[in-house]
Chain A
Amino acid sequence: AQTVTQSQPEMSVQEAETVTLSCTYDTSESDYYLFWYKQPPSRQMILVIRQEAYKQQNATENRFSVNFQKAAKSFSLKISDSQLGDAAMYFCAYRSFLVSSGGGADGLTFGKGTHLIIQP
């Protein structure tokens, strides 16, 4: 079974600064997907960014980028120019690639989350 670990229960950053959230995972699979989801207070979870394990290039979405280190099984999220609206719980998640081939579990495996605080 896969596991996802987020070792930072809470992070705080000044508005307009850069912050990096850490995530490590454990799997025996060679192909898989990794995601960062954002859950604002009392609002639904939304996808921030995804990474396919077979792609070497790190994913980027505007101010959000990842540092994917496959050998180290590490998948960190960098948020540049932090904004007040970035304040939320951030969850790292894993999904098996085998589903695309007709097999394997389709559910996401989540970490415990990191609470990101933006200081004005």
Chain B
Amino acid sequence: DTGVSQDPRHKITKRGQNVTFRCDPISEHNRLYWYRQTLGQGPEFLTYFQNEAQLEKSRLLSDRFSAERPKGSFSTLEIQRTEQGDSAMYLCASSPPLAGYNEQFFGPGTRLTVL
């Protein structure tokens, strides 16, 4: 499978716990994006990386959220001290080196439920 993969697909946690999600982009895609999608809404942009550099962060990304892409390949998104409002689908997408419209390819998402 050469698509974007995310792990885990589902995560249930208790309020106050820390969680970490992983995203593996399509090979040779140097740009990687994180989005959050709550029920009944479209995805909302959180942050993106070009190689290992985090170039943009949305104001939605509070200080409890941190994302890394240490070697420019896979990325992790960590949420500290989870809150019930963090319950959502977390989507990862990747795109190839900038050329034209630069399609973003999405992974299946990680569904987080905070109890």
On A, residues with C-beta under 8 Å from B are: 4, 6, 33, 37, 43-47, 50, 52, 91, 93, 95, 99-100, 105-113
26 contacts between A and B (CB under 8 A): A6-B42, A37-B106, A44-B4, A44-B107, A44-B108, A45-B106, A46-B106, A50-B101, A50-B103, A52-B101, A95-B101, A100-B98, A100-B102, A106-B31, A106-B33, A106-B55, A107-B33, A107-B45, A107-B46, A107-B56, A108-B33, A108-B35, A108-B43, A110-B42, A111-B42, A113-B41
Contact B48 A107 (CB under 8 A): yes
Q: Is the CB of A91 within 8 A of B43?
A: yes
The 3 residue pairs across chains A and B that have the minimum distance between CB atoms: A107-B45, A110-B42, A45-B106
CA distance A45 to B6 in the complex (A): 13
Contacts of B108 in A (CB 8 A): 43-44
Where chain B touches its partner, the secondary structure class is loop
Please report the C-alpha to C-alpha distance between residue A93 and residue B41 in the assembled complex, in whole angstroms. 13
Give complex CA distance A107, B98 in Å: 13
Q: Does chain A have a CB within 8 A of B17?
A: no
Interface residues of B in 80-115 (CB under 8 A from A): 91, 98, 100-104, 106-109
Any A CB within 8 A of the CB of B66: no
A106 to chain B, nearest CB (A): 5
Interface size class of B (residues with CB under 8 A): 20 to 34
Nearest-neighbour CB distance to chain A for B88, whole angstroms, equals: 14
Given the contacts A106-B55, A106-B56, A107-B33, A99 and B102 also touching, CB distance less than 8 Å: yes
**Among candidates A33, A109, A112, residue contacting B101 with C-beta atoms closer than 8 Å:** A33
Contact residues in A for B106 (Cβ distance below 8 Å): 37, 44-46
How distant is A120 from chain B, measured CB to nearest CB, in Å?
Answer: 25
Contacts of A106 in B (CB 8 A): 31, 33, 48, 55-56
